[in-house]
Amino acid sequence: MIASVTVQDLVSRIPNGACVALPADYSGCAMTAVRALMARGVRDLHLVCMPQGGFQVDWLIGAGCVARIEAAAVTLGEHGIAPRFDAAIKSGELEMWDSTCPALLASLQAGEKGLPFIPLRGILGSDLLNVRPDWRVINNPLADSGVKDPVVILPAIKPDFLLMHALKADRNGNVWIGVQRELMAAAHASRQTLVTVERIEDTDFLRDPVMAPGTLSSLYVHGLAVAKDGAWPVGLDNAYPADNKALAAYTSAAASAEGFAAWMDATAKTAVHA
């Protein structure tokens, strides 16, 4: 059984320089926890996006919390370009490790399985191989003698932390993630998984044959905090939709460094009492 803590206590476990895996906007973003990280002033994070970054990534970049990002893309979707990411890339303030969706998810699967690397074919011939020296092309060691059969091998990704938000946990600390299976792989690959949830229910999800397949066992949950509306403003599947008015207001404000600073003063530094 895992005891629930405050959001501030939860994110206090993430030190400067940590490698942190973050879900895409559609997949359980711990926005309340991210605001707490920003307010704390964490620095030099290496963000691993699963597989693309959105609002939480742009927030952290704007707040000066990020040194490196590994992602297939950083986008605000229908709200357009991620303004603080765009500015940081153009200024050279941010180290970018370009990737693809299949490559990131495959590397997390390697981390999940305890493998040092994983093969992937789909990026053969891509310009990404010129900017990712850690990706190597080898000949298939199982190919017939003399047969050229190149594959790319990708190093496993093993984040220090996965930070995510979910609808609910049970009394034993098991967390229901539903159909977002990439969260399961990332939790298995990460050294610690920190979770905020909307609520804790007095039941055992793993005893329910309907709930169990979409449940992350408490064996992989290292910190749990209740944060009502913890994914706001991006929304949470089966709970509440994205607040498009708030997202549009952020996008407009963050178009400049001064606008972002004003937004952060008004929003991101609001005290968290979850």
What are the tens digits of pLDDT across the range 70-116? 999 999 999 999 999 999 999 999 999 999 999 999 999 999 999 99
Residue range 38-65: average pLDDT? 97
pLDDT tens sequence across 231-246: 999 999 989 999 999 9
Domain that holds residue 47: 4-100+157-261
User: Does the pTM of the predicted model rise above 0.75?
Assistant: yes
Check whether residue 48 and residue 122 sit in a common domain.
no
Res. 270 pLDDT band, cuts 50 70 90: low
The CA distance from 157 to 109, in Å, is 8
Cβ-Cβ contacts under 8 Å for 221 (sequence gap 6 or more) = 2, 169, 173, 174, 175, 187, 193, 195
Q: Is the pLDDT of residue 53 over 90?
A: yes
pLDDT tens digit sequence for 116-131 = 999 999 999 999 999 9
Is 213 a residue whose pLDDT tops 80?
yes
**Does residue 162 sit in the same domain as residue 245?**
yes
- Cα–Cα dist 188/240, whole Å: 27
Number of domains in the chain: 2
Same domain, yes or no: 143 and 11? no
Residues 89 and 147 in one domain: no
Same domain, 130 and 215: no
In a domain, 110, yes or no: no
